[in-house]
A and B are shown apart, each in its own frame.
Chain A
Amino acid sequence: MTPTRKRRLIGVLVIVIGVGVAAAVAMQALNENMLFFVSPTDVDEQNLPAGKRFRLGGLVADGSVSRASDSLAVQFVVTDGLASVDVRFDGILPDLFREGQGVIAIGELTPEGRFEAAEVLAKHDENYMPPEVADALEKAGHTESEL
């Protein structure tokens, strides 16, 4: 390799390493803000103030969904296995919403510690399969994640 090329090679490498380090440091600093949602455990630990808008993410607890008979209002519990938060929502839920499904609710805590959601999004997992396979798995007593 000629000296000129070596010089250019070193120059480019220095830039790449510099930018890489800068990006890593910036992401480290922004880490908290890069989280799209907080889990029920975070809610418990951080004592989030009432009235502050944030996104709550977790699984809809089995058997926790109750719908009002005369309106769209629905109540359910979002859990991450360790902690759970009561959620109330008045609106149209996404098709994927069901018990055991991952959801992200956008809203705020009331002073009583209930989560008042303005919007509910369903989180889709990375499993893709035909309905028959899902049925068969369920019958065999497996969970989807074992596929």
Chain B
Amino acid sequence: MNRLYLFFHKTGSPPWFYKYSGYLIPWLWAGFLLLTAIGLYLGLLVAPADYQQGESVRIMYLHVPAAWMSMMIYGLMAIWGFIALVWRIRIMEVLIISSAPIGAAFTLIALVSGSLWGRPTWGTYWVWDARLTSELVLLFLYFGVIALYNSFDEPRKAARAASLLSIVGAINLPIIHFSVLWWNTLHQGSSIGTSGNSIHPSMLWPLLYMAVAFKLYYGANLLSRARLRLLTQDHRKRWVQDLLTKESS
């Protein structure tokens, strides 16, 4: 237990976080570029067209990973929000507010790409079914977290309010996920799940490459944003001053 506490205190200290995340970021970017290249090559050139949707099935390789990310990021924000509220670890607060714009971007990508896919497949850009509506609510939740954070002058207070909204808003995540099971929706059910996949392997692989690539992108982007935010928040503190003098000398 003491070891665990020590680990949390170490990773929770801004200088430690700043230093080690700096080592990680180039690797994350490299992995993202490599996997995206493989995923796009397989998805756009190698994978076959679908027996019903034709070429528009390729939108899936962008849409599904983005939709997964939109939910995963909000879930992480809720977990970090919980830790931030109870243990007041500042890194967690920084991670939440640095995640929100990335999550909002992925949600927007999922909504727009889905809409462009829906037009040829369903015959409409948008319907107010449970899946589409709850995903739109998720976008507004991200906007809400960002707006709430920015409405406070004091970053610690702002982070507490944003944490609370992250936790409360997480109730939307199971609604999004199960909406296609609980209600009649125009959106189809999941093709990939614990009870087996209904997607051909030649189409599954590019999807998985893209999904991992997006996660690496999130990691790289999040860490970069969090580092910048830490530097800005701590610009008067000793460790930042030391860092600056070391880099300028």
Contacts and interface: CB of A to CB of B under 8 A. Distances in A.
Interface of A: 5, 8-9, 12, 15-16, 19-20, 23, 27, 31, 34-39, 57, 93-96, 104, 119-135, 145, 147
Interface residues of B, number: 41
Interface stretch (B9-17, B66-74, B117-125, B209-217): B117-125
A12 B82 contact: yes
Interface string B142-181: 0000000000000000000000100110010001000000
Interface of B: 48-54, 57, 60, 82, 85-87, 120-124, 127-130, 164, 167-168, 171, 175, 182-186, 188-191, 198-200, 202-203
Contact of B85 (A12, A121, A125): A12
Contacts of B175: 23, 27
Given A36-B130, A129-B51, A19 B121 contact: no
B74 to A, nearest CB: 14
B191 A19 contact: no
A5 B87 CA distance: 6
Contact of A35 (B85, B123, B184, B198): B184
Contacts, number: 119
A129 B167 contact: no
17 contacts: A15-B167, A16-B168, A94-B120, A95-B54, A96-B53, A120-B123, A122-B121, A122-B122, A124-B121, A124-B122, A125-B198, A127-B199, A129-B50, A129-B199, A130-B49, A130-B202, A134-B51
A126 B189 contact: yes
A126 B198 contact: yes
A124 B191 contact: no
Nearest to A129: B200
A12 B86 contact: yes
A94 B54 CA distance: 13
A36 B186 contact: yes
B188 A123 contact: yes
Nearest to A93: B123
Q: Which of A36, A37, A93, A130 counts the most B-chain CB atoms under 10 A from its CB?
A: A36
The A interface is mostly helix, strand or loop, or mixed, namely mixed
Contacts of A119: 123-124
A54 to B, nearest CB: 12
Contacts of A27: 175
Nearest to B54: A95
A69 to B, nearest CB: 23
B199 A128 contact: yes
A121 B203 contact: no
B247 to A, nearest CB: 37
A104 B186 contact: yes
B3 to A, nearest CB: 17
A8 B51 contact: no
A7 to B, nearest CB: 9
A129 B203 contact: yes
A131 B171 contact: no
B205 to A, nearest CB: 12
B86 A126 contact: no
A133 B48 CA distance: 10
B219 to A, nearest CB: 26
B130 A96 contact: no
Given A23-B171, A27-B175, A95 B48 contact: no
A12 B167 contact: yes
Contact of B120 (A39, A95, A123): A95
Given A23-B171, A36-B129, A95-B120, A131 B48 contact: yes
B203 A15 contact: no
Nearest to B169: A19
